[in-house]
Structure 1
Amino acid sequence: MDTTTKPQTQDLPRSGGFPSVRYKRNLPHKGPSGLVIFTVLGAISAYGFYRVGQGNLEKRELRREHLWSRIHLVPLLTAELDRDTYRRNCAALAREAEIMKDVPGWKVGESVYNTKRYVGPTQIVVPEPS
């Protein structure tokens, strides 16, 4: 080995030092902040609740209007039903008189039940053969 070799020197930093190492993440901000998102969602929810409330008021008003229309139509419908019942009863008595004309002692319209209580007429609708 050669003894005249220069001694090894240690690596030293350059004058002024090394630049600092950036170890933090540098991510750009993408999209709105959490506060903006929360505010927008709150506004959308408030508008939705407002619309639901308006729909409930409208539904309540329509239900009230429907109820009052039924209340005002009940007398008309009852009178119409009474007229129809009377017409059917007269037709039934006429049919009974025609069918039972040959039976002696038959009284048209007399109740067939042995009771003094009122028994409503039975409504049997027989469709005509087509």
Structure 2
Amino acid sequence: MPPPGGFESVKYKRNLPFRGPGGLAILGGVTAICAYGFYRVGKGNLEKRELQREKAWSRIHLVPLLMAEGDRDAYRREQAALTREREIMKDVPGWEAGKSVYNSTRYRSPDIIVL
């Protein structure tokens, strides 16, 4: 016989857990994240371009200084080489230190620099 008060009611309702945000919300989130990423990439590209421009102009402005430094270094090395040549060839009669080996008065920059 049934218990007093009757049987318990049958639970037929589905009890599914919450499965997360909907497709539209996910699409909106992905779109927002991508838009922010593209914004940051654009700002990074602008900054990189500005740094490249700054580097180029700094090199342009440094060229005269570096050329002058190279000229001073070449002159110092040339004078040291002449001094060494005078010291080495002092016993050779008729030797002129620093005289060009070419039969021309045209200036030629030294092709080889002895370090």
Q: Taking structure 2 as the reference length, what is the TM-score of the superposition?
A: 0.79
Residue type of the alignment partner of 2:78: N
Looking at structure 2, the residues matched to 71 and 80 of structure 1 have their Cα atoms a distance apart, in angstroms, of: 15
1:122 Cα offset (Å)? 1.7
State which structure, 1 or 2, has the greater radius of gyration over its C-alpha atoms.
Answer: 1
Residue type of the alignment partner of 2:110: G
> Is the counterpart of residue 84 in structure 1 residue 73 in structure 2?
yes
SS at match of 1:43: helix
Structure-2 residue corresponding to 1:4:
none
Structure-2 residue corresponding to 1:63:
52
Change (3 A) 1:115 1:45: farther
1:100 Cα offset (Å)? 0.2
Residue type of the alignment partner of 1:124: V
Looking at structure 1, the residues matched to 111 and 30 of structure 2 have their Cα atoms a distance apart, in angstroms, of: 65
1:121 Cα offset (Å)? 4.6
Between the two proteins, what is the percent identity of the paired residues? 64
Runs of 4+ in 1 over 6 A off after TM superposition: none
Structure-2 residue corresponding to 1:46:
35
1:26 Cα offset (Å)? 7.2
Give unpaired runs (5+ residues) of structure 1: 1-21, 126-130
TM-superposition CA deviations, 1:67-103 (whole Å, max 9, x none)? 0000001101111111111111011001100100001
Structure-2 residue corresponding to 1:123:
113
1:28 Cα offset (Å)? 5.0
> Is the counterpart of residue 96 in structure 1 residue 82 in structure 2?
no
RCO comparison, higher one (Cα < 8 Å, 6+): 2
> Is the counterpart of residue 109 in structure 1 residue 98 in structure 2?
yes
Q: Taking structure 1 as the reference length, what is the TM-score of the superposition?
A: 0.70
SS at match of 2:113: coil
Change (3 A) 1:115 1:59: farther
Give unpaired runs (5+ residues) of structure 2: 1-11
Aligned length: 101
